[in-house]
Each structure stands twice: as C-alpha cells, then as structure tokens.
Copies of this chain bind each other. A is one copy, B any other.
Amino acid sequence: MPSHVSARDLGRLLDSLRRKRPLVQCVTNLVSMDVTANVLLALGASPAMVHAPEESGEFIGLADALVCNIGTLSQAWLDSLETAAAAAAAKGRPWALDPVGVGATQVRNAAVERLLVHRPTAIRGNASEIIAMARNAGLTEQVASFKGVDGFDSGDDALTLSRRLAQRHRCVVAATGAVDIVTDGSRVAKLSNGSPLMARVTALGCALSAVVAAFLAVTDDSFEAVVAAVAVYGVAGDMAAAGALRPGSFRVAFIDALDAIGAQDLMRAKID
C-alpha cells in the first residue's frame, strides 16, 4: 500500500512551510514549551504559546494552525485546551491533538474525550497512546488478533487500529516510534527514519505534534501534511545522529538539522 507521497512532494511542502512561515498557536505542556518553540523556529514556522481562554478565541484568528497537548494536565489547562480547540473548529483552523499519557489515568482519558468533540484534523501519539485511544473507543475488541501493547509495534494490529481510529474520528492518525504509521483511514504510509536518541530527549514527540500542526497549515491534504511532518522530522533525526552520539549534543544537532534540512535531504526519506 504505497503512501502516494513522493520525495518531491515532501520538498514542495517544506518549501511552502518556509515561505508561509505559519503561526502555530500551541497549548502544550510545560515541559515541552522551550523545545517546541525552538523546533518550530528552526524549521521555519512561528510559535505562539497562547493558552488563556480569554484570548484564544481572538488569537486563533491570527494563527494558521493549533496544537493541543494534554501533558502536565490540570483542570485549568484542560479549560484552555478545550477553548482553543473549540475556537479552531469554529474558525476553520486545522488542529493537531497530542494525547500524552492517555490510558495512564482516567483524567487523561476524560480529557481526550472532551477534546475529540472539537474534531481534530490530526492525532499524533506514540504507539501506546494510539492503542489506548483505540481501546477507549472500543476498537480493540473488534481486532481478533490483538495481543496488547507488546505486540503492537511489529504487527498488523498497529496499522489496523490506527486506520480504525482515523475512520472513527475522520482525521489523520500518526502512531510514531521506531516505525511511524500515518493514515487517514484509507491511505497509509509507513516511515522508517530517525534515531533512538530522539526518545532520549524530552518532549521531542510533543514538538513533532506542533510540526504536524505547522504542515497542516500549508496544504489542504491533511494526510500529505502529516506524512511530510513525520518524514522531515525523521530525516532531521538521521542527520543529527550522524554527528551526535549522546542526548545532550543530539538535541543541539537536531535543532540545527531542522534549520539545515532541504529538499535534497528528503530524497533519502524511507517511506512505504
């Protein structure tokens, strides 16, 4: 099942992002703010960490896309997330949901349910978060061969559950890890780029969700946008890992790579 997104498409989307410099409103967790803002700036987008419910409705009119991330959740933060998501939906702005830690506590499961009401354009999580969302939606029971989290990464269940989740919520789903799956329910891409060091730097997954939002602002094809975000991120990770072997220096090299990456580098993206 080919992804229908070519290296040429990736280069075109990256160029678009750098020309448009989309303003991405981020309601994201406290750990990820610094690295998320720096990732967006390095790539060529503009971050705006705006979370006050009093100004979200007005601010989304200035922004090109939104990311909502439920890490470091609190009751006040959930109000901010909901208000921002509702404003994005009302104004027709694309938005990405990062369901950090969903499945770990009832508070997080309930938070995700409330945010789904506002119809995210894309959902980006790691495998265990996507599986938890599928379980919460009653989708795992329908997959006869489902073996739990341990069997998720390698098997076809990952693909099946991501597709069903995308169909259920009519959005693009990205389950990222050693292999990344992106699907809109019909089209599917599997990407195999990046470095294990990306999991040794805090909040790089959260920052990817913001990059997803940035790409959603430059094309109406959400599937293509999410594939581009995941591909650019992974190839930048490969570039950084070529010169940095430990997590401290890798973080620095990764930010540099997001600035350096160009269409030529994307020719090496591994996408099936």
Contacts and interface: CB of A to CB of B under 8 A. Distances in A.
Interface of A: 29-31, 33-35, 37-38, 41-42, 47-52, 54-55, 58-59, 62, 71-76, 80, 101, 104-108, 199-203, 246-249, 251-256, 259-260
B49 A71 contact: yes
Contact of A259 (B37, B108, B202, B248): B248
Contact of A55 (B50, B51, B105, B203): B105
A42 B248 contact: yes
B247 A256 contact: yes
Taking the full assembly, how many copies of this chain does it contain?
3
Contacts of A75: 52, 54
Contact of A38 (B74, B107, B248): B248
Given A247-B256, A249-B256, A201 B49 contact: no
A132 to B, nearest CB: 13
A59 B52 CA distance: 27
Nearest to A72: B49
Given A35-B34, A42-B247, A52 B107 contact: yes
A34 B202 contact: yes
Contacts of A50: 72-73, 101
Contacts of A200: 41-42, 259
A253 B248 contact: yes
A202 B35 CA distance: 9
Contacts of A105: 55, 58-59
A29 B35 CA distance: 14
A56 B133 CA distance: 21
Given A34-B31, A259-B247, A74 B52 contact: yes
A202 B107 contact: no
Contacts of A104: 59, 62
Given A59-B105, A75-B52, A255-B248, A202 B31 contact: no
Contacts of A31: 33-34, 37, 49
B202 A47 contact: yes
Contact of A202 (B38, B72, B260): B38
Contacts of A42: 200, 246-248
Contact of A247 (B41, B72, B107, B246): B41
Contacts of A252: 248-249, 251-252
Given A51-B72, A55-B73, A55-B105, 12 more contacts: A31-B49, A37-B202, A41-B199, A41-B201, A47-B202, A50-B72, A52-B107, A54-B107, A247-B259, A248-B251, A248-B253, A249-B252
